Amino acid sequence: MNAKTVLVTGASDGIGLATARGLAKRGAQVVLLCRNPGKAEQARATVAREAAAAPPEVILADLASLEDVRSAADEFLRRWERLDVLINNAGALNGRRRDSRDGIELTFAVNHLAGFLLTRQLLPALVRAGSARILNVSSDLHRQSQLDLDNLLDPPRYDAWSVYADSKLCNVLFSYRLAAGLSETGIRVNALHPGVVATSFARGSHDMRSLALRAARWTLRSPDSGAKCSLELATSDALAEVTGCYFDENARPVRSSASSYDSDLAEALWKICESACGCSFDPPAGDA
């Protein structure tokens, strides 16, 4: 990964931090997108200790703000010419309903919409890289989604795991639609499930399912193991041409849910995201 630049969102903790460490070890210049300055500095120091080449850099942004997402992308474009790998990893399960700074349900705003806008804004640097890769960290929980696009931005009833599953289906729908749209550019786009990993995930949630997850923590994969699929997709020569796929925790391509292949659903979601972000995002349409 020498001379490659990689941006990882949610790099201050969990799978994102493990991914950033793994990439830095392999020689990449890693840019850590984090929201909390203190945690960002700790993560930067941790990654720096393992960096084989360029020291890591930090961009601060709260992905719950579309303005912050735009500023973060602008900062990246000012400081770097090209982006070889973008890893949209940041995500959360929120125990109670909250809204983003833009008045959008927070889980969807952070887990999906921020990645949509960040990818759009960074596209010039990804195109300049020649054969860039975009990874969207989804979850196998996307299979449980009963996605209702009419209520995505402002669900009338809030269920933490349902809105989480919806946001993760959105990640997969977006990945397939974007992969098709960018197929002529050399940019490869894939989605992945990192496994069930012992991280800070769901820390703010106290329902039975979250409590059970925390109780079973010792049986779960480690963050390093959870980073395995992202690292493989970011670095493997064998996967350099693979696009529009969904990968399991062992970096094997697997089928995602039936609705994730619904191109009408993907198109409608795309329009909602464009409208919520107040801008168009026009890679040419194509079959997923």
Q: Please pick, from the candidates 8, 15, 20, 233, the single residue that binds ligand NAP as defined by CB under 6 A.
A: 15
Backbone angles phi, psi at 190, to 5 degrees: -140, 160
- Count of residues engaged in binding ligand NAP, rule: CB under 6 A: 26
Which residues, other chains included, contact 233 with Cβ-Cβ below 8 Å and sequence gap of 6+? 133, 135, 190, 192, 239, 247, 251
Query: Is 91 a residue that touches ligand NAP (CB under 6 A)?
Result: yes
Assess 39 for contact with ligand NAP (CB under 6 A). yes
Residue 169 binds ligand NAP, judged by CB under 6 A = no
d(CA 229, CA 10): 16
**112 near ligand NAP (CB under 6 A):** no
Give least dist CB 164 to ligand NAP, A.
7
Q: How many helices (H) and strands (E) does the chain have?
A: 10, 8
- Active-site positions read 164
The phi and psi torsions of 71 (rounded to 5 degrees) equal -65, -40
**Interface residue with ligand NAP, options 46, 89, 94, 107 (CB under 6 A):** 89
According to the binding rule CB under 6 A, does residue 200 interact with ligand NAP? yes
CA dist., res. 83 & res. 133, Å (int): 9
Min CB(107)–ligand NAP separation in Å: 9
Alpha helices, DSSP H only, in 10-82? Answer: 14-25, 37-50, 66-79
Residues binding ligand NAP (CB under 6 A): 10, 12-16, 35-36, 39, 62-64, 89-92, 110, 137, 139, 193-194, 196-197, 199-201
